[in-house]
């Protein structure tokens, strides 16, 4: 892990979550609610603002055409009808110098009609215009800031027809004190008030001075973190920083975990759904940060999901709270105005997880049946109380839960689970070419109704074979009961390494209804053939790897961002030409298929961290057993050597544990050598 700024209360709270997760225990969290700050009484942002901001996808390349085309698109695409109304300009809209009489000057090339002309156009479509300035001498991109010019600038914004101000924190001339932060942000808040124009006030001090505890008196929303970027690591970290601030959110005053990256191309749709769904669950502003003119149908279907938007915009105005967590999973619960609950089952792990909560745990106790609307699939099922889902890696199941009496019109809620002795991060099943393995399926019923006439089928690709090894049909599975089937799976000898799929289907009837079917796509990976003789592990193809920052590096240390950005591996002055550069937490999995006898390796924190930190544990797992452990290794520890016996072992896993909250965990597997037959 890496940390570049001093801990603030927000980060400290996030640290608590990390610490709780590190225990691996499933803990029910109940933090004492802080007294919410009284909200700024400007009557605005009664629900979290929705709209667009150009920064995430355009940086400084903003202009009038982009803003106007985006506004047009809001109307033509249905985004406006779905509730998106602010079209916001970020940094770089102005000239590098104020006018002779001290006013900000919109760049006449970028904005030929000025901000006023742009605002007029946006208003003509029934939309609102936002702008950006900075509580410092210059904006982050080096344009004139508003510090000391607050009233002049606020008056101009109002005169131009601006409806929303994002107010940043670069070049702030600050001594870092809370008093200074409050004073700089209050100066602009007061100036906006004096203009008499309703202007949403968005405070952007990146969570530095615990804005959740004071910014609600001054502005309508406040950034709780540094800048988001379009990566899973960034998304995960921001979720962790924002989630404990729930006591401070309320109508007119919202935590802002930054603008959306949905659609920008460096995350999967599963991750973008986690992003959008958890922003809604956390009552965050929904400010689209992608080039809408190029948005794909998949992007639009996320951004336009009415059920998710309704959760975000719910009039009760409560930020969803984590009510249970453990092992990289979290259950969020958001009470809604009509008594429903929005429940998010968030799986931050790199492998699928079966997650559950209950109606009672989310505060619903009065009914004997509940409907569960899966907001992403649109299907509604009924449950006697358990809310459970198989959540994909990095995914979030999001349900709207409602007490119902007429549950018989819905199919019972079920899960279709898969377990295999050869599952690992990245695949449900790993198998060598020409081999046979086993797995088990389990269909579980959570509905008030029993499942009847239950049948399981499995389909494998051409050349593969899959067959049940135990009963594949059952007359009845009752409420909270389950039915398991064993399967045998064989791959063709000619199968190339890569991912394949087995489709598992469970069909069942309920009440007087016809049978329905649920399917599960089981990911099966053909694993590479184990090597012969004694080889450098960095020359062997792994089956999966995960890393805290950036990818695992081969024969380099870990540079934290892109592939190949590390340096030669070096521990306490010894340079290793071969090895694996990681940044905890990291797991690298190899298939050794009973063909290898041992692994020997040196381990240590790379010299590149200098005196900055580093504190990890290196652990080697053979199948599920830990066979070597370095103990605590810091940036001053001498090189340590580890040996692992791999006789009869199928899976080899190298694990680097972050060992608590220290930073710069650049753990090297230095010169690892694998010996096989």
Q: In what order do the strands lie in the sheet with 544-546?
A: 544-546, 586-591, 651-657, 615-622, 625-634
- Contact status: 303 vs ligand GAL (CB under 6 A): no
Single out the catalytic residue among 90, 168, 256, 657. Answer: 168
With respect to ligand GAL, which residue has the nearer C-beta, 192 or 451?
192
* Smallest distance from ligand GAL to CB 415, Å: 40
How many residues bind ligand GAL, per CB under 6 A? 12
Phi, psi of 299 (to 5 degrees): -60, -45
Pick from 456, 300, 464, 480: which is nearest to 383 by CA? 480
Contact flags string 155-194 toward ligand GAL, x per CB under 6 A: -------------x-x------------------------
Task: Please say which residue, 229 or 327, places its beta carbon nearer to ligand GAL.
Answer: 229
Choose the stretch contacting ligand GAL; rule: CB under 6 A; options: 132-140, 438-446, 541-549, 660-668: 132-140
* Binding to ligand GAL in span 206-225, by CB under 6 A: 206
Whichever of 132 and 214 has its CB closer to ligand GAL, that residue is 132
Separation of alpha carbons 39 and 252, rounded Å = 6
Give me 343's structure tokens.
């429940």
- Residue 445 is among the residues annotated as catalytic for this protein: no
Strand 651-657 and strand 615-622: pairing?
antiparallel
C-beta of 287: minimal distance to ligand GAL in Å?
10
In whole angstroms, the minimum distance from the beta carbon of 138 to ligand GAL comes to 10
- The residue of the chain with the least Cβ separation from ligand GAL equals 140
Question: Count of CB atoms within 10 A of residue 101's CB?
Answer: 6
Q: In angstroms, rounded to a whole number, what is the distance separating the alpha carbons of residues 241 and 339?
A: 28
- Quick one: CA torsion of 656, 658, 659, 661, rounded to 10 degrees? 170
Two tokens at 103? Answer: 């006013």
Token pair of 355 as six digits: 């997650």
CA separation, residue 219 to residues 8, 205, 319 (Å): 20, 12, 17
55 makes contact with ligand GAL (CB under 6 A): yes
Which one from 107, 113, 180, 227 is the annotated catalytic residue?
Answer: 227
257, 312 Cβ separation under 8 angstroms: no
* Binding segment toward ligand GAL, per CB under 6 A, in 133-141, 238-246, 320-328, 378-386: 133-141
Any idea how long the chain is? 677
Which of 40, 45, 67, 141 forms a contact with ligand GAL (CB under 6 A)? 141
Q: Is 168 a catalytic residue?
A: yes
3-state secondary structure of 554: strand
Only segment of 105-113, 139-147, 389-397, 422-430 that touches ligand GAL (CB under 6 A): 139-147
Residue 90 makes contact with ligand GAL by CB under 6 A = yes
Separation between Cα atoms, residue 318 and residue 254, nearest integer Å: 10
Shortest CB 650 distance to ligand GAL, Å? 48
**Site for ligand GAL contains 227 (CB under 6 A):** yes
Helix (H) or strand (E) holding 167: strand 164-168
> Nearer to ligand GAL by C-beta: 55 or 214?
55
Residue of 285, 305, 303 whose CA lies nearest to 74: 303
Residue 204 interacts with ligand GAL (CB under 6 A)? yes
**In the complex with ligand GAL, which residue's Cβ is closer, 129 or 569?**
129
Q: What angle do CA 241, 242, 246 make, to 5 degrees?
A: 135
Residue among 212 and 460 whose Cβ is closer to ligand GAL = 212
Which of helix, strand or coil describes residue 58? Answer: helix
- 205 lies in the binding site for ligand GAL (CB under 6 A): no
Q: Which stretch binds ligand GAL (CB under 6 A): 134-142, 152-160, 544-552, 657-665?
A: 134-142
Q: What letter would DSSP give residue 138?
A: B
Closest residue by Cα to residue 87 from 162, 146, 30: 162
Q: Where are the beta strands (DSSP E) in 409-464?
A: 411-412, 414-419, 429-431, 436-445, 451-459
Q: Does 10 bind ligand GAL (CB under 6 A)?
A: no
If binding is defined by CB under 6 A, does position 260 make contact with ligand GAL? no
Q: Which one, 131 or 322, has the nearer CB to ligand GAL?
A: 131
8 A C-beta contact, residue 603 and residue 661: no
Pairing between β-strand 380-383 and β-strand 341-347 as defined by DSSP bridges: unpaired
Complex with ligand GAL: residue 261 or 382, whichever CB lies closer = 261
Rg (CA), the chain: 27
- Strand, coil or helix: 117: helix
- H or E stretch at 18: helix 9-22
In the complex, least distance from residue 230 CB atom to ligand GAL, rounded to whole angstroms: 13
| Closest to ligand GAL by CB, 219 or 530 | 219
Task: Identify the three-state secondary structure at position 569.
Answer: strand
**C-beta of 60: minimal distance to ligand GAL in Å?**
8
Single out the segment in contact with ligand GAL by CB under 6 A; choices: 76-84, 136-144, 458-466, 548-556: 136-144
Q: How far is the CB of 115 from ligand GAL (least distance, A)?
A: 17
Tell me which stretch binds ligand GAL (CB under 6 A): 138-146, 195-203, 214-222, 278-286. Answer: 138-146
On whether the CB atoms of residues 608 and 567 are closer than 8 A, the answer is: yes
User: Scanning residues 337 to 376, which ones bind ligand GAL (CB under 6 A)?
Assistant: none
Helix ranges (DSSP H) in 23-168: 55-58, 64-77, 114-124, 150-160
For ligand GAL, the closer CB: 170 or 440: 170
Taking residues 433 to 452 in sequence order and writing x for each that binds ligand GAL by CB under 6 A, - otherwise, the string is --------------------
Residue 91 in the binding site for ligand GAL (CB under 6 A): yes
Q: Which residue, 91 or 350, has its beta carbon nearer to ligand GAL?
A: 91
Look-up of token digits 């100066």: 187
Q: Which residues from 584-623 bind ligand GAL, rule CB under 6 A?
A: none
Q: In angstroms, what is the minimal distance from the CB of 132 to ligand GAL? A: 6
Q: Is 312 one of the binding residues for ligand GAL (CB under 6 A)? A: no
Minimum distance, C-beta of residue 167 to ligand GAL, in the bound complex (Å): 10
Side by side, the strands of the sheet bearing 380-383 are 321-326, 329-335, 341-347, 396-403, 370-374, 380-383, 411-412
- Shortest gap between Cβ of 94 and ligand GAL (angstroms)? 12
- Tell me if 235 sits within 8 A of 200, measured CB to CB: no
Contact residues for ligand GAL (CB under 6 A)?
55, 90-91, 132, 139-141, 168, 170, 204, 206, 227
- The catalytic residue positions are 168, 227
């Amino acid at each position: 892990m890496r940390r570049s700024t001093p801990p603030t209360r927000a980060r400290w709270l996030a640290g608590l979550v990390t610490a709780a997760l590190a225990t691996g225990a499933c803990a029910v969290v109940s933090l004492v609610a802080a007294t919410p700050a009284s909200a700024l009484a400007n009557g605005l942002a009664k629900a979290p603002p929705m709209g667009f901001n150009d920064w995430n996808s355009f940086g400084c390349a903003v202009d009038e055409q982009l803003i106007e085309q985006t506004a047009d698109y809001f109307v033509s695409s249905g985004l406006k009808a779905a509730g998106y109304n602010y079209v916001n300009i970020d940094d770089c809209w102005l000239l590098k110098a104020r006018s002779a009489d001290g006013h900000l000057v919109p760049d006449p090339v970028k904005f030929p009609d000025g901000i006023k002309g742009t605002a007029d156009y946006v208003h003509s479509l029934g939309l609102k215009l936002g702008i950006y300035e900075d509580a410092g001498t210059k904006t982050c991109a080096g344009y004139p800031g508003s510090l000391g010019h607050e009233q002049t600038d606020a008056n101009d914004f109002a005169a131009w027809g601006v409806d929303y101000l994002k107010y940043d924190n670069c070049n702030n001339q600050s001594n870092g004190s809370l008093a200074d932060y409050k004073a700089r942000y209050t100066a602009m808040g007061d100036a906006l008030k004096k203009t008499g124009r309703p202007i949403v006030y968005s405070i952007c001090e990146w969570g530095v001075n615990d804005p959740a505890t004071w910014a609600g008196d001054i502005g309508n929303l406040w950034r709780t973190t540094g800048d988001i970027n379009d990566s899973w690591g960034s998304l995960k970290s921001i979720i962790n920083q924002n989630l404990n601030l729930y006591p401070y959110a309320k109508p007119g005053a919202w935590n802002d975990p930054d603008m959306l990256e949905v659609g920008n191309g460096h995350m999967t749709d599963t991750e973008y759904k986690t992003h959008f769904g958890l922003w809604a669950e956390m009552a965050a502003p929904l400010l689209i940060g992608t080039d809408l003119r190029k948005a794909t149908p998949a992007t639009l279907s996320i951004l336009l999901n009415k059920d998710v938007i309704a959760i975000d915009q719910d009039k009760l105005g409560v930020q969803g709270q984590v009510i249970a967590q453990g092992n990289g999973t979290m259950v969020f619960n958001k009470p809604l105005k009509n008594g429903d609950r929005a429940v998010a089952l968030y799986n931050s792990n790199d492998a699928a997880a079966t997650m559950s909560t209950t109606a009672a745990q989310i505060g619903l106790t009065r009914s004997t049946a509940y409907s569960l609307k899966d907001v992403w699939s649109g299907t509604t099922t009924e449950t006697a109380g358990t809310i459970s889902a198989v959540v994909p890696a990095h995914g979030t199941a999001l349900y709207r839960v409602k007490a119902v009496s007429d549950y018989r019109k819905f199919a019972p809620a079920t899960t279709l689970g898969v377990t295999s002795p050869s599952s690992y991060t990245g695949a449900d099943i790993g198998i060598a070419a020409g081999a046979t393995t086993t797995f088990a399926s389990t269909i579980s019923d959570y509905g008030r109704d029993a499942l009847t006439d239950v049948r399981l089928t499995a389909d494998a690709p051409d050349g593969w074979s899959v067959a049940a090894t135990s009963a594949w049909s059952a007359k009845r599975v009752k409420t909270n009961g389950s039915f398991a089937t064993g399967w045998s799976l064989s791959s063709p000898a000619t199968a190339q390494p890569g991912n394949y799929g087995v489709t598992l289907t469970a069909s069942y009837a309920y009440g007087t209804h016809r049978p329905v079917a649920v399917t599960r796509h089981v990911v099966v990976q053909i694993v590479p053939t184990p090597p012969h003789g004694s080889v450098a592990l960095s020359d062997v193809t792994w089956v999966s790897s995960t890393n805290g920052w950036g990818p695992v590096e081969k024969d380099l240390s870990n540079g934290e961002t892109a592939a190949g950005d590390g340096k030669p591996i070096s521990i306490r002055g010894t340079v290793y030409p071969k090895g694996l550069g990681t940044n905890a937490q990291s797991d690298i999995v190899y298939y050794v298929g009973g063909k290898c006898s041992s692994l020997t390796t040196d381990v240590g924190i790379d010299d590149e961290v200098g005196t900055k930190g580093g504190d990890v544990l290196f652990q080697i797992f053979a199948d599920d057993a830990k066979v070597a452990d370095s103990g605590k290794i810091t940036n001053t520890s001498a090189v340590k050597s580890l040996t692992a016996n791999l006789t009869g072992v199928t899976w080899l896993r190298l694990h680097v544990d972050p060992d608590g909250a220290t930073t710069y965990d650049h753990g090297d597997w230095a010169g690892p050598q694998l010996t096989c037959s």
